[in-house]
Structure 1
C-alpha cells in the first residue's frame, strides 16, 4: 500500500481540535476501505508532534460470536445491532476523564479477544476507527469524523483480496477462523468471499454505513491503490 499523504487531513483536523481535553477523531467507511491503515498513519503523524495519541477500533465492541449466535445475529455481524453501543459510548466518554478499558478484536479468529484489551487514560488524541460511529443513542462523542470513500467495485476488490490473504495465512494456523475454508479451492474461496461481500458487506454499506458520509466532517476520496485523491470538508 502506498505511503499516505495526510498533510491536508491534519491541517483540517487542527481547525476542529478543542483547546483542551482529549480530541476524539473517528474514521469510518465500508468494510475493507483501509480504515485501520489510515488510522495507524494518522496516529503516527499526530504523535510525531509530541502529542499522546492512541488508536482503537469499534470491532472490540462487537458482541462475541457466541452472543451473536444467541441473538440470531451471526449473519448481521458488523450491522448496528451486533455492537454493544452502550459500552462504546461509555468508553468514549470515560476515556476523557480517566483510565478506560477498550476491548480488542482479532481478525484472525474473527471474534472479540480479551487478550487484546487495552487500558487508555486521557490521551491528547484518541483515533477510533471502524463502523457504527454515527450517533444512534444520544449526541455524538466524536469530535471530528472522517469518512473514507471509494467506488463499490474497488471496495469489493479490496475485501476479496483481504479475505484471500487471511485464507492463505490460515494454511499453517489451525486457530484461524479461515482454516475451515482450507479444503476449498481458490476459485471456491473467491466465490465465497464475493458472496459475503454482496449479501452482507454491500448491504451493510448501503443501508447503514453510507449515511455517515453525509455526517462526516471530512470525506477522503480514495483511488484503486488506496491513494488519496481528494479531501472534502463538510459542515
Structure 2
C-alpha cells in the first residue's frame, strides 16, 4: 500500500529533474493551514539532501509583526494575503539569487515574529519555500523575485479541519509546560470547550481564507499533490511534464 513516503519520494525525484534546468531552484509550496506543508518540506529535504544542498524556509517569517497587524486592524486576518510583506519575500529571493539572503523567523509558540529565528542562507541547489502569502506566478521564465515553480498541497476540507483541531489540542497541551506559549491563553478551557473554540477559529478565519485565497492557487500551481486522511500523498497534476 502506498504511504506518505511514496508521494514524497515521487515529488523529490520530480524536483531533481526540474533542478537540472534551474540552478538554485526555488520551489514554492502552499496549501491550507494544517495541510502539513512544513512536514512535507522537511520530508522532501531529507530525501533530496543525499544529492543536493537543500534549504527549507517558511513564508511565516514574512508575516507582519502582531503589533503592525493590530495597528492595521488585521489581527483576525492573520494568514490572509494582506498580512504578508510580499515585497520582502521578493527582496529575499532576489538577494538569494545573487548569493545569500536573510529569512526572518516566526514562532508558533509566541504566535509572532521572532528576530532570534532569522537565518542567513547562501544560495542552495534547491530552496523549498513553504507557507501562505503566495500569488499566481508569472509565465515562465519567471523573475528572480518569484519561485521557479509552485506546488499545491491539496486535501479535503473535512480532513483539514480534523488536522487543525488535532494540532490545536497538541499545542494547547504543550502550553502547560510553557507559560510563554500563545496557547497558554486557553488553558482555562476544558478540552471540549477548546474544541468548540478551535472550530470557530477555523470557520471564521481559516476556512474563508482557504476558499477565497488559498484554494484558487491550485489552478495556477505547476504541481498538485493530494493528501488523504491517512496522510497518503500522490501527485495528481504535473503541468511541467
Same fold at TM > 0.5 = yes
Structure 2 unaligned blocks of 5 or more:
none
Equivalent residue for 1:209? 214
State the 1:72 CA deviation.
0.5
Higher helix proportion (structure 1 or 2): 2
Cα distance in 2 between the residues matched to 1:101 and 1:60: 10
SS in 2 for 1:4: helix
Of 221, 237, 240, the match for 1:232: 237
Structure 1 unaligned blocks of 5 or more:
none
SS in 1 for 2:171: helix
Cα distance in 2 between the residues matched to 1:46 and 1:148: 18
- Normalising by structure 2, report the TM-score: 0.91
Cα distance in 1 between the residues matched to 2:136 and 2:103: 19
Cα distance in 2 between the residues matched to 1:230 and 1:218: 7
Cα-to-partner distance string for 1:166-208 (whole Å, 9 max, x where unaligned): 0000012110000010011111110111000011000000000
Equivalent residue for 1:39? 41
- Normalising by structure 1, report the TM-score: 0.94
The alignment status of 1:122 with 2:120, answered yes or no, reads no
Equivalent residue for 2:157? 152
Aligned pair in 2 of structure 1 residues 93, 135: CA closer, same or farther (>3 Å)?
farther
State the 1:221 CA deviation.
0.8
Equivalent residue for 2:134? 133
Aligned pair in 2 of structure 1 residues 156, 20: CA closer, same or farther (>3 Å)?
closer
State the 1:8 CA deviation.
2.0
Cα distance in 1 between the residues matched to 2:136 and 2:85: 13
Aligned length: 233
Equivalent residue for 1:89? 90
